[in-house]
Structure 1
Amino acid sequence: MADLFDTAAAQPAPGAPRPLADRLRPRNLSEVIGQGQVLGPDGPLGAMLAAGSLSSLVLWGPPGVGKTTIARLLAAETDLSFVQISAIFTGVPDLRKVFETARIRRANGQGTLLFVDEIHRFNKAQQDGFLPHMEDGTILLVGATTENPSFELNAALLSRAQVIVLERLSPADLERLTQRAEKELGRALPLTGEAREALIEMADGDGRACLNLIEQVAAWKTDRTLNRDELARRLMRRAAKYDKSGEEHYNLISALHKSVRGSDPDAALYWYARMLEGGEDPRFLARRLTRMAVEDIGLADPQAQAVCIDSWQTYERLGSPEGELALANAVVYLALAPKSNGVYTAYKAARAAARDTGSLMPPRHILNAPTRLMKEIGYGTGYAYDHDAEDGFSGQNYFPEGMKRPVFYAPPERGFERELKKRIDYFTRLRARREE
């Protein structure tokens, strides 16, 4: 039992060198670097501890931001026995043993903080298995996940546990961590200022990764200070965190779309590049850029859609990486184009009206009459051929009889739609004149 669940079993064997990350593990919550938004006096965890009322939690955040450390320290702060399991390696029989041991421990007056790493790996039925033990106080559950709990965890579990969002460590946080590591090592890292910044960039907000990189640098035998290029040659850069089918995918495409809509070409190029660096399919990006052209630019710049299609076709002919520049051209063009959702809004309003009015017939004067019967009942009677009318405009009604004429399309005074608005105003005046 202890071999499976006792955290002491995970410690290095006597005499084995302890990893730097383990040697620098905080001894109390005040030593935790970062996460002040949740651990501070105004944060949710700080407030819970001040009130002495810690509840079950789900710690949601990227790798290396302190989820395990915070859970361990919460147990120490509240005098609970800390038990750690991983959803990857734990089955139902193991869970039963954990709950039974916690029940015995509780009967002896000792509570249990059960830390479940990768809790999203448990299926829905397994997640339900925690509920009765949370409700009767057998365990205080602290789950850790890198995935969005809204999608990965049962509603019943979420209703019994507060979600705490942990953030990736900032460069300032990682610099503090680096200084703490140098103090532990007893010497400064042999890096120039730029190389030190590069090391922190490579960690990408992951404290554990930062300490692992520092250990590698500290092990080098060198009597001189290394620059940025020398560091890059000796260390492999970490791949940026990007899940092409998960939440990060949707977060980044949302950032790209909103940067284009917000007319910021630099931000749009940045998110476009982030997605490419993460391995995104450029064809997906070409399709989404075309959608942006029709949704957010529309007729304010009719050329925008053509630019997207041309860039898409250019990519198909050139492939990567050359064709990616064609898509970058589209990104910048869209960001700088005048914006309008006039047609998009009009289309949605027209669809709503079509649903509301059901099966109303068109007015008879605009219906064709290919048979005698149809002519006799009035199909086509009174139709005015616009080309024969003054100004080429008859001003007839084309909506169903009895339906009040709506206005769906109201172009803004931006881009090419300024000209379209002039045309709408012109035809509106002519129609009013015909109706007098």
Structure 2
Amino acid sequence: MADLFVDDIPGGTPPDALRDDAPLADRLRPRVLDDVVGQDHLTGPEGAIGRMVAAGKLSSMILWGPPGTGKTTIARLLAAAVGMRFEAVSAVFSGVADLKKAFAAADKAALAGQRTLLFVDEIHRFNRAQQDGFLPFVERGTVTLVGATTENPSFVLNAALLSRAQVLILRRLDTEALETLISRGEGLEGPLPLTAEARNALVASADGDGRFLLNQAETLYSARIDNPLDPAGLGKFLQRRVAVYDKDRDGHYNLISALHKSLRGSDPQASLYYMARMLTAGEEPLYVLRRLVLFASEDIGLADPQALTQCLAAKDAYQFLGSPEGELAIVQACLYCATAPKSNAVYGAQKAAWKSARETGSLAPPANILNAPTKLMKDIGYGKNYAYDHNTDDGFSGAHYWPDDMEPQEYYQPVERGFERKVRERMDWWAKKRAQLQNE
């Protein structure tokens, strides 16, 4: 519980009542919205929150952002800014009974003319049925709901709740915002026992999480270090913040999307970076390899047929060597795909052919290309006048292979890149030759 703000917990101590020995992050909690750092796009005069506060009326909202960006603080300050009663519950610690108590208290306050802001931390942890329970109270104005989540609301909140609340996105704290927090801490506790380079390293280690940064600073103050630490000394003394990465959540999908699009955009450096982000955060290497194999067919195809071979070889190498040595083969496959010529002609051909197959149903192939293992089948024309391509001078008969009731289609359209340029030349020659043979 050490890294939770006091008012993250229902019934927590309000900021103006904090003891001198309270955690540094609590003592530095902003007292007004203008003191919130890094979220000016929301809290500034032109931001959604700034405009609502100026109008003196709040609408229900979902605050979506990484940990340590100020969601709880903003919710509490919003209530104070517009004179609303503040009620907080946490989906981690609360159940249906707690919600019923909160709604009953809000109803009672409403009779006395007091509006209630209900803050629900980790709102995504409530199941769909529990989320539905908020709807009648939000609709009739019993509460103004402010939910906080680190997960993509599109995936974790039901549509009915999202339709009644505005989603506001909090940004990961940038270097300037983190520097402001450190300066405020130093205003209370004095200069940090760090060299300038180590101070920069401390800010970088927070990975955009203000609460983590202040907790790290408090650890340094508590240690009573005599001589300023350099970056190496800081690294031994403190741990970096573990990158936010849930393998089945939004961070996972964002990074795999960034990897795929960097590969498609032929940027080997960015591709390697995003792949490294995933693997160092604990992603299963075989998952990354599966995505590379998919990419080799979907975005490279026959522009470079070796791409698929490289990716499958990387899978075999990783399974043979294990980690970490086998990860070098994954890097090789990633770089090969990023630097290969690109074509989605195979992908497009598959989509078009599948669509055509569904639409044409059970059309029979022309009888001349069907095998005739029995006399009856021969008598009804199976295999009659079949042209055996290898018996022709060019190894190409130009025969018709499509069902009689279907026009020939062109699903596969090779691009003028890589190996597909040669494929295109062959296909163009065959088309020209076929037209000549049919006109003879």
The answer for the alignment partner of 1:91 in structure 2 is 95
Paired residue type of 1:326: A
Quick check: 1:226 aligned with 2:229?
yes
Q: What is the CA distance between 1:290 and its match in structure 2?
A: 0.9
Distance (Å, rounded) in 2 between the aligned partners of 1:59 and 1:211: 22
The answer for the alignment partner of 2:139 in structure 1 is 135
Distance (Å, rounded) in 2 between the aligned partners of 1:137 and 1:362: 66
Task: Describe the SS at the equivalent of 2:167.
Answer: strand
The answer for the alignment partner of 2:268 in structure 1 is 265
The answer for the alignment partner of 1:296 in structure 2 is 299
Paired residue type of 1:414: R
| CA 1:15–1:412: 2 relative to 1, 3 Å | closer
| CA 1:363–1:118: 2 relative to 1, 3 Å | same
| CA 1:15–1:174: 2 relative to 1, 3 Å | closer
Q: What is the CA distance between 1:31 and its match in structure 2?
A: 0.9
Q: What is the CA distance between 1:6 and its match in structure 2?
A: 6.3
Distance (Å, rounded) in 1 between the aligned partners of 2:250 and 2:104: 36
The answer for the alignment partner of 1:349 in structure 2 is 352
Q: What is the CA distance between 1:16 and its match in structure 2?
A: 5.7
The answer for the alignment partner of 2:121 in structure 1 is 117
The answer for the alignment partner of 1:67 in structure 2 is 71
Mapping for residues 105-184 of structure 1, pairs under 5 Å: 105-184=109-188
Q: What is the CA distance between 1:4 and its match in structure 2?
A: 12
Distance (Å, rounded) in 2 between the aligned partners of 1:328 and 1:428: 41
Distance (Å, rounded) in 1 between the aligned partners of 2:12 and 2:93: 17
Q: Is the 8 A contact 2:18 2:26 kept in 1?
A: no
Mapping for residues 14-413 of structure 1, pairs under 5 Å: 17-185=21-189, 187-413=190-416
Q: What is the CA distance between 1:155 and its match in structure 2?
A: 1.5
Work out the percentage of aligned pairs sharing the same amino acid. 57
Q: What is the CA distance between 1:368 and its match in structure 2?
A: 1.3
Task: Describe the SS at the equivalent of 2:326.
Answer: helix
Paired residue type of 1:267: A
RMSD: 1.9
Task: Describe the SS at the equivalent of 2:148.
Answer: strand
Distance (Å, rounded) in 2 between the aligned partners of 1:127 and 1:86: 13
Deviations, residues 317-341 of structure 1 (Å, cap 9, x unaligned):
1100010011101111110000011
Distance (Å, rounded) in 1 between the aligned partners of 2:145 and 2:174: 28
Task: Describe the SS at the equivalent of 1:33.
Answer: coil
Q: Please, which runs of 5 or more residues in structure 1 have no aligned partner? A: none
Question: What is the TM-score normalised by the length of structure 1?
Answer: 0.95
Please, which of 404, 425, 431 is the counterpart of residue 434 of structure 2? Answer: 431
| Count of matched residue pairs | 433
Distance (Å, rounded) in 1 between the aligned partners of 2:19 and 2:122: 30
Q: Please, which runs of 5 or more residues in structure 2 have no aligned partner? A: 1-6
| CA 1:236–1:395: 2 relative to 1, 3 Å | same
Q: What is the CA distance between 1:12 and its match in structure 2?
A: 10
Q: Is the 8 A contact 1:265 1:332 kept in 2?
A: yes
Q: What is the CA distance between 1:224 and its match in structure 2?
A: 2.6
Q: What is the CA distance between 1:218 and its match in structure 2?
A: 2.1
Q: Is the 8 A contact 2:34 2:44 kept in 1?
A: no
Distance (Å, rounded) in 2 between the aligned partners of 1:132 and 1:39: 28
The answer for the alignment partner of 1:420 in structure 2 is 423
Deviations, residues 185-209 of structure 1 (Å, cap 9, x unaligned):
2x22122222112111221111100
Deviations, residues 113-144 of structure 1 (Å, cap 9, x unaligned):
11111111112222122111111111111111
Task: Describe the SS at the equivalent of 2:172.
Answer: coil
| CA 1:260–1:8: 2 relative to 1, 3 Å | closer
Q: What is the CA distance between 1:15 and its match in structure 2?
A: 5.4
Distance (Å, rounded) in 2 between the aligned partners of 1:4 and 1:176: 22
Q: What is the CA distance between 1:289 and its match in structure 2?
A: 0.9
| CA 1:4–1:225: 2 relative to 1, 3 Å | closer
Instruction: Point out 4+ residue stretches in structure 1 off by more than 6 angstroms.
Output: 3-6, 10-14
Paired residue type of 2:378: K
Paired residue type of 2:131: Q
Question: What is the TM-score normalised by the length of structure 2?
Answer: 0.94
Q: Is the 8 A contact 1:5 1:83 kept in 2?
A: no
Distance (Å, rounded) in 2 between the aligned partners of 1:14 and 1:416: 69
